[in-house]
Amino acid sequence: MVEEQAEPQPLQQPAVQIMQSVTITPMPEFCPDAKIGTSLSTRWNNWQSDFEMYITASGITDPKRKRALLLYQAGPRVREIFKQIPETGTDTDYNIAKQKLKAYFDPQKNRRYEVYRFRQTTQEHNETLDQFHTRLRTMSETCEFADVEFEIEEQIIIGGNSSKIRKRALRDPTFDLKSMLLEGRRDEQSKYQAEQIESKEQTDGEANKLEQKPNN
């Protein structure tokens, strides 16, 4: 009896995983001497927060590389300042470098000026209430308010664009920040929808006029 030979099976191609490289845009340099009148402490804290996201997105975890990148991305002016700061640790002390720079920039914060800037803030024409709220909350971080929620509510009432929200807040003491934001979203959504409908009706009306216009 002749043993049948099994038909050769096609070779399976090894699975190849293609890793797509993601290009991370370098951080802008931090200039301590720029934007006179703007809080230096706030600008540094915002830059540092962005840098933390940058190194996370870049996949960098080694403290030595993180410290080197911090000083490199911050720019020559920050490196010059850093050289004058005592006890900054070794090349692997990333957290110490962060703390020293924060300690350098934070004392230059003027709380009275930060509160003044907060009080002067108004909602921009094309800014949603949620965007205005986010901007106020960010600014409040350097104001050291005892009741942040109340202060933001007050600034939305004073500096917001919605007369409807302002009147209701003055009429109803229980109309809190959460309710204001919900009311703002509803008003903005209904306004957008109404504009879309009215715009279409206007376009249709103009088209009908052109169709009805007699030919010369």
Q: What distance in Å separates the CA atoms of residue 158 and residue 152, rounded to the nearest whole number?
A: 10
pLDDT, residue 4, reads 52
Residue spans of the domains in the chain: they are 40-106, 111-199
Q: What distance in Å separates the CA atoms of residue 21 and residue 29, rounded to the nearest whole number?
A: 24
What is the reported pTM?
0.59
The percentage of residues in the chain with a pLDDT greater than 70, rounded to a whole number, is 80
pLDDT, residue 32, reads 86
pLDDT, residue 17, reads 38
The mean per-residue pLDDT over the stretch 116-135 comes to 94
Highest mean pLDDT out of 10-19, 159-168, 186-195, 206-215 = 159-168
Q: Pick the closest to residue 101 from 121, 81, 117 (CA basis).
A: 81
What count of Cα atoms within 13 Å lies in the side-chain half-sphere of residue 195?
6
pLDDT, residue 22, reads 60
Q: What is the pLDDT of residues 1-59, one digit of tens each?
A: 555 555 555 444 444 333 345 677 888 999 888 665 567 888 888 899 999 999 999 89
60's CB contacts (< 8 A; 6+ apart) are: 66, 69
pLDDT, residue 41, reads 81
